[in-house]
Chain A
């Protein structure tokens, strides 16, 4: 177990020091095929980037220990394990978390129930006071900010969507969405105007005068999303926003979410306990267990190089072919260019049918259509066979 933890830490450190592989080095691609229009996010093959590497939110050595004497427990040189903490009558809900959320990316925090996701995200927004650590938002240490400053930041720069929607039952949809603006003291006409636009944006036009309990779960969460967007936040937290919805609606809401993000390009911290959802949405994923980040990286990273058996367990059921990119199996060009070709950013699953015409290899093209390498039938089959 300790070995696994250490491995995760090492990986994490690498992440922090060298953010992302250089585009030309032929490292793993990180574009995920999805409903969003192509090219809106960083695309390895083209080198175009929407997600800059500027860290928007940095979280360093954050601990949250519930129960008595939390602070004294982590003051010591050695890291207390969760068993140590339990023995001391405390719960280590978040333990020494280091993450970096870059501007414009969707950063997914994934973990089973009780792994500390909600606690972590509440530490990030300082809804709960971390026991120790630093949280830098745009370079400003949130933990040192005054209460007035926090109110200021939350009013204008942060938004949050809640698992159980957290709609105010006594207010209409319109008033709920306008609520954050009301708190800011914006006058009625202006705030309702903006709220109406948000309601349009999430596709709830016509429901303005309904009350939360008259809406379906999916509709309620749309209200929650509209409300969190009304203040036009730079940093958007979503705590298991779709977990309370049934699978069909969840899928629909995920598409909706990707559509919104393609327009809005927020920096997003997204919590989920569903690995499929994480894969579908994430630019990068951090996997949590017992309050620790076990591994953080791109979806492909997690699938191909799980740091611990725990991560491997998660990724086992995922069809590799849908996650692994052509680029990551590519070998250098050797002069001969096969007739068939495929984009570097495409998942392996897309390459498979092209071999059926008897090709032994495919040409790999970058975003501009220029050949950058080859991919062999054997390599593809190997990935496909592994599930």
Chain B
């Protein structure tokens, strides 16, 4: 019976041999390593030239290999029955057909003939019809309020003359989202069912989400050619991973009792999937659908680089012309579209969670499908009305409103009145911070940096992490990307520091004040739905192109997770611990610094992690304003359709992201272990 009284046994903790030696070694490790690094950096140049600039002769010609592989895929690769080109053509067709139908309905109408000589036989849905149908869908999903909101969003498109472009964009979204949802769902289900497949899929998804979009635009462009099909493929690659992930998660989180129930009533595997798992996980799956929609909209501008057209193209063109008014309006149109689709899909997700209202009685088509009947009636009526009154078919230009000139005036006014002040700020930061830092980083020996990173990996996560970090860092150097990578790291680093300096204190403030937090949340949400390009424009107008502009845009974009995670972390702190602190007589300040921030540190580190990811993804976009980093490299590769160059640079960015992510996560884990 002694086992049931463990407290009677003498407590004997194993005492470590000699703790002072171990900790002393740990304490001296970093200073020693840093000292060695600095010495090497200062005096090692003569000893080991190779450690400062990677010798050309040993460079891994990865870009050339990838280029060759692409060529081989295009020209020769064959899977027995069909070639790789057949495959891409097949995919293209699957996408192309529904796209043309959607485009015909929303934008071009039914055409006969080819190309520019095509003649419109039947006009597309008129703006009035689309507006009415959207209102109807809104009403079906979430009642009158939602109907009003989505109508307002689409009304904005009509009124500000964004209609034609918006419908082109909508057509590609309408095609991309269902395909993304279905493919993502199937991939997720497969991963859930076959663990082996999951082990392959998850790393691929990870990589897909860390590689900057630009990088895979290049191969997509090469394989599918310039045009909307390519754009949709790229959108799918970007928007699909979350759906697959959500599916895996949703399947996992179906209560095991429900799964047991399925087995107990004797479901076959297929019945298990489609009658038990998918319906039970419907709520979570709808979150995935929402993600796919939002990410597809995020891609609108980037996809227009490979031929998407529509609103994205308008923004891009405006950015190139530095026409802030036009760019802002097109950007806001994307936001309006995003808000409408987001709210609609969220309302449907909520509706999926609730039981359906009883199916109305009655046998007629109208009483069984009132919404469908109304939609058909709207189409017929507006079609006839559109024939009679052209203004109802396409919104007359005379009625449209534009704020373009207004915005341009605002910027011009600011530039005239504040040019000197702005310029001074820019120069001070540029000369005192950015340029020296950039020089410093470029000056460091790559071999030393790789060694330091590996050491950090070893200290934080053991040999495996050291190896991963070291190899990835080495590969960046070995593929000849080191110099550009330092520019990326420096821009990213500076931006992240600023984002944290702004975001963390704001988060701390907001965590204590509910009202402030509610307002801040609104701002952050808006910042996140704005397409990232929209940040660029005003900054470019004020500060012209260059590193400083890029930095501001990145900070504006990356500050969001810094705020969010800080607040989240502070809110998660167990109130009982805070209470205990108060009972011990801590001042509010002590509670904040000694208890709350300490406990929230892992979350805040996670926020830092996210901030870095956001910064990296935005950095690629700032390549458009003339930075000299890896993003620029990718962008150049895109314009030259140089697959190898694009992928190598893209992978380098991904490697930086992975290194930062793994090191920070390992650090956060350590802290978490120590805290709990």
Contact = CB atoms under 8 A, between A and B. Distances in A.
A169 interface: yes
B360 to A, nearest CB: 13
Contact of A164 (B257, B271, B353): B257
A125 B264 CA distance: 8
Given A127-B260, A168-B279, A170-B279, A180 B265 contact: yes
Given A164-B257, A213-B355, A214-B355, A169 B266 contact: no
Interface residues of B, number: 23
A336 interface: no
B263 interface: yes
Interface stretch (A21-29, A92-100, A147-155): A147-155
A113 to B, nearest CB: 16
A152 B282 CA distance: 28
A241 B146 CA distance: 42
Given A168-B276, A170-B280, A209-B358, A162 B265 contact: no
Residue of B261, B267, B271 with most partner-chain A CB within 10 A: B261
A248 interface: no
A266 to B, nearest CB: 15
Contact of A166 (B1, B4, B255, B279): B255
Interface in A149-191: 150-156, 158-160, 162-166, 168-172, 179-180, 182-184
Interface in B260-285: 260-261, 263-268, 271, 275-276, 279-280, 282
Given A164-B255, A183-B271, A214-B355, A127 B264 contact: yes
Nearest to B282: A170
A213 B356 CA distance: 12
B118 interface: no
A286 interface: no
B264 A154 contact: yes
B196 interface: no
Interface in B330-354: 353
Contacts of B276: 168
A183 B264 contact: no
Interface in B629-647: none
A170 B265 CA distance: 17
Given A168-B280, A214-B355, A231 B265 contact: yes
B410 interface: no
Interface string B411-442: 00000000000000000000000000000000
Contacts of B261: 160, 162, 166, 168
Contacts of B263: 127, 154
B266 A183 contact: yes
Contact of B260 (A162, A169, A182, A214): A162
Nearest to A213: B355
A205 interface: no
A248 B276 CA distance: 32
Given A154-B263, A168-B261, A228-B264, 19 more contacts: A1-B1, A122-B260, A125-B264, A127-B260, A127-B263, A151-B267, A152-B266, A153-B266, A160-B264, A164-B255, A165-B257, A168-B280, A170-B280, A171-B279, A179-B265, A180-B265, A184-B266, A213-B355, A214-B355
Interface of A: 1, 83, 122, 125, 127, 150-156, 158-160, 162-166, 168-172, 179-180, 182-184, 209, 211, 213-214, 228, 231
Interface of B: 1, 3-4, 255, 257-258, 260-261, 263-268, 271, 275-276, 279-280, 282, 353, 355, 358
The 7 closest A-B pairs by CB, nearest first: A155-B266, A211-B355, A180-B265, A166-B257, A154-B266, A166-B261, A151-B266
